[in-house]
Amino acid sequence: MLKPKTRIQERNSRAILEAGLEVFSSHGFRGATLDQIAEVAGLSKPNLLYYFPSKDSVYLALLEQLLETWLDPLAHMNPEGDPIEEVLSYVRRKLELSRDFPRESRLFANEILQGAPRMMPDIAGPLKTLVDEKVVVLTRWMAEGRMAQVNPVHLIFSIWSLTQHYADFDAQVRTVLGPGHDPYAEADPFLDHLFRRMLQPG
Amino acid sequence: MLKPKTRIQERNSRAILEAGLEVFSSHGFRGATLDQIAEVAGLSKPNLLYYFPSKDSVYLALLEQLLETWLDPLAHMNPEGDPIEEVLSYVRRKLELSRDFPRESRLFANEILQGAPRMMPDIAGPLKTLVDEKVVVLTRWMAEGRMAQVNPVHLIFSIWSLTQHYADFDAQVRTVLGPGHDPYAEADPFLDHLFRRMLQPG
DNA sequence: GTCTATACTCTGATAGAC
DNA sequence: GTCTATCAGAGTATAGAC
């Protein structure tokens, strides 16, 4: 990516990333074309390639800026807080992320579905490290009898799965619910009940 | 697809569908190429196109045969059975499906992620009909006080989400767990605990 | 039924004028 | 910085020999 110096560079770089997110998230890496991205960004294809040297570089720039946002809610789970409330607010933040950034969620889902060809280092690195760290905290909470004993890694998987489902399978969710439903507004109390019941000690 | 008459046609048709499943599920529709599919099937590309007239037709044949398998476990939830045990065995069957047919799960996930361009009729039709039917059963069970009152559609979503996660996000699951883990063997008791706790009446 | 050869289109990327 | 023109390669599909 061109280091933005002028206002016009700043604006075009942003437009390309925004368009790339739109197109990559709904068609996958291979399914997306530079023609589409350029059109959505309101630029010509050669002009797009003036800002980013290749299709790959647009995609990688998107993945890069995605990871931090994605890990942030888990990173903020406070080891000194109340165990169940900490998990519940993690769930809520993750659900809000799905609601507010569904395209980012689908971009990520697409990448993992294909076996994470370009993101594996991040998953085996920062992501795994953060999970390992939080597993220690969850395990302590369970040992102290402050939440039910469940497999802590799978607890984290269940949070990812249940919240991301609303963004990733949006088409199915909305069709099955039918018109006049707000999936996220309904999911919030449902997930609250689910995790509260599951994690209640004893 | 060519109606299989001879033994050789039967064998080649199967090989193409098997190869198509392999390639489409790991690269998506656009990401898959006929060259790859033909190679995996052990045929030349023109020979593949002798059996199926187009790339689309291979993909559609796969989606078609997928839906029934996919809905089967939900269809078998027995309205006359014990509510919580019925839900739990549905969860178990769905998890087994993810374990035994992960490629089918990823094929489905890919299609929905892209907005279900070719599967929307099936989702708005047979799938929604079946869900509506089972929602009636779940609602009755809840009204009879035989399971906790939760949003029944979201209960079904949660089952789909939690079980399919292990197939669709396999790359991430295995990386985060690290070596020496059997994701499905660990998920089974975890999900049993989760749904038992959530659905316990009172 | 299967293969070689090939037509034709799409797509990522570059050259070079302005 | 942006555009027109264009290339090279990949990819779907067809023609026609055997």
- Tell me if B32 sits within 8 A of B24, measured CB to CB: yes
- Tell me what pLDDT residue A6 has: 84
What is the rounded average pLDDT for all residues in chain A? Answer: 96
List CB contacts of A88: < 8 A, sequence separation 6 or more: A192, A195, A196
8 Å CB contact of B28 and A114: yes
Residue of B nearest to A195 (CA): B198
- Tell me what pLDDT residue B9 has: 86
Quote the tokens at residue B112.
């929905």
- Tell me what pLDDT residue B191 has: 99
Q: How far apart are CA B154 and CA A162, in angstroms?
A: 10
Burial string for A113-146 (b: 16+ CB within 10 Å, else e) reads: bbebeebeebbeeebbebbeebbebbeebbeeee
Convert the pLDDT of each residue in B40-82 to its tens digit: 999 999 999 999 999 999 999 999 999 999 999 999 999 999 9
- Tell me what pLDDT residue B202 has: 81
The DSSP symbol for B124 reads I
Q: Amino acid identity, residue B100?
A: D
For an interface test with A, give the residue of B105, B169, B184 to mutate (most A CBs within 10 A): B169
pLDDT higher than 90, residue A7: no
List CB contacts of A100: < 8 A, sequence separation 6 or more: none
8 Å CB contact of B161 and A157: no
Instruction: Please calculate the CA angle B156-B160-B162 and round it to the nearest 5 degrees.
Output: 115
Convert the pLDDT of each residue in A31-44 to its tens digit: 999 999 999 999 99
For an interface test with A, give the residue of B23, B113, B147, B196 to mutate (most A CBs within 10 A): B113
pLDDT higher than 80, residue B5: no
Radius of gyration of chain A (CA): 19
> 3-state SS of chain B: helix, strand, coil percent to 5?
80, 0, 20
Convert the pLDDT of each residue in B99-126 to its tens digit: 999 999 999 999 999 999 999 999 999 9
Convert the pLDDT of each residue in A12-32 to its tens digit: 999 999 999 999 999 999 999
Quote the tokens at residue A9.
């560079």
CA A77 to each of CA A66, A123, B189: distance values in angstroms, whole numbers, following the listed order = 19, 19, 25
- Tell me if B74 sits within 8 A of B53, measured CB to CB: no
Torsion sign, CA atoms A163, A169, A171, A177: negative
CA B116 to each of CA B39, B110, B164: distance values in angstroms, whole numbers, following the listed order = 27, 8, 17
Counting beta carbons within 10 angstroms of the beta carbon of residue A178, is it exposed (0 to 12), middle (13 to 18) or buried (19 or more)? exposed
* Domain range summary for chain B, segments of one domain joined by +: 1-53, 63-199
Q: Is residue B184 within 8 angstroms of chain A, CB to CB? A: no
Residue of A nearest to B168 (CA): A113
Q: Is residue A130 within 8 angstroms of chain B, CB to CB? A: no
Q: State whether CATH 1.10.10.60 applies to domain A1-53.
A: yes
User: What average pLDDT does this structure show over B147-164?
Assistant: 98
User: What average pLDDT does this structure show over B157-170?
Assistant: 98
SS (H, E, C) chain A: CCCCCCHHHHHHHHHHHHHHHHHHHHHHHHHCCHHHHHHHHCCCHHHHHHHCCCHHHHHHHHHHHHHHHHHHHHHCCCCCCCHHHHHHHHHHHHHHHHHHCHHHHHHHHHHHHCCCCCCHHHHHHHHHHHHHHHHHHHHHHHHCCCCCCCCHHHHHHHHHHHHHHHHHCHHHHHHHHCCCCCHHHHHHHHHHHHHHHHHCCC
- Tell me if A106 sits within 8 A of A25, measured CB to CB: yes
Q: How many helices (H) and strands (E) does chain B have?
A: 11, 0
Measure A38 CA to C14 C1' (Å).
17
The DSSP symbol for B200 reads -
| CATH assignment of A63-199, among 1.10.357.10, 3.65.10.10, 3.40.1080.10, 3.10.50.40 | 1.10.357.10
What DSSP element (H or E) covers B32? none
**B197 three-state secondary structure:** helix
Q: Write down the residue that tokens 């999936």 correspond to.
A: A183
- Tell me what pLDDT residue B1 has: 67
pLDDT higher than 90, residue A181: yes
- Tell me if A135 sits within 8 A of B158, measured CB to CB: no
- Tell me what pLDDT residue A100 has: 98
User: What average pLDDT does this structure show over A112-133?
Assistant: 97
